[in-house]
Amino acid sequence: MSISLFYLVALLSIFFALMVIFSKNPVHSVLYLIVTFFTFTIHYILLNAQFLAIVNFIVYMGAIMVLFLFVLMLLNLNESSTEYRSNIMKMVGLIAGMCLVITLVGSVKALNASDPLVLQTQDLGLVKNLGKVLFSKFLLPFEISSILLLSAMVGAVLLAKKDIKQV
C-alpha cells in the first residue's frame, strides 16, 4: 500500500466530510456524504478488507444514502424551515463538537507516526477468512443474531398487519 495514496484518500475523506457539515443545501450534504462513504470504501480496499469495502459500497452508499435522499426530498425543506435554530440545539452541537475535538486530540497523541501499521497476514480481510471465523469461532452469536433478526421481522409484519376483527 502506498502511503501517499492513503494520505490523499484520507485528505479527500476529511474534505468531503467537512463539506457535509458546511453545505447549506441538505441534498448537497447527502451527496457529499455519499462521496465520503466512497472514500471509506477506497480505504477498505487499500487495507485489503474487500468484504468491508463491498458491504460499505452496497449497504451505505446504495441503500442508506438513497433512503436519506428520499427522506430529504419528502420533507421539502426550504429556507424558511431551516432558519429557526434554538439555543438548546446550538449547545448540543457545541458539546458534540468538543467531544469530537477531544477524541481527535487523544487519537493524535496515541498515534506513533514513525511506525506505520503493517498487517502480519495479508489476507486478513478476505471473505474466505471471515467465513471461517464466523462459522467456527462465532457460530453461536451468529445463529442467535439470525434468530433475533427473524423475530424482529415477524414482529414488524405483525405490527403492520391490519386487524381483521375491526373491519
Domain spans in the chain, listed from the N-terminal domain onward: 3-160
pLDDT digits (tens, 9 = 90+) for 98-149: 888 888 888 777 775 556 566 666 666 677 887 888 888 888 888 888 888 8
Confidence at residue 76, expressed as pLDDT on a 0 to 100 scale: 66
Closest CA to 12 of 31, 32, 27, 28: 32
CA dist list (Å): 145 to 52, 80, 125, 129, 152: 19, 44, 22, 20, 10
Confidence at residue 9, expressed as pLDDT on a 0 to 100 scale: 92
pLDDT at residue 15 greater than cutoff 90 = yes
* Alpha-carbon span 20 to 97, nearest angstrom: 15
Among 3.30.1300.10, 1.20.120.1200, 3.40.50.800, 3.30.1950.10, name the CATH number for the domain at 3-160: 1.20.120.1200
Closest CA to 20 of 56, 58, 72: 72
Confidence at residue 153, expressed as pLDDT on a 0 to 100 scale: 82
Closest CA to 49 of 114, 116, 121: 121
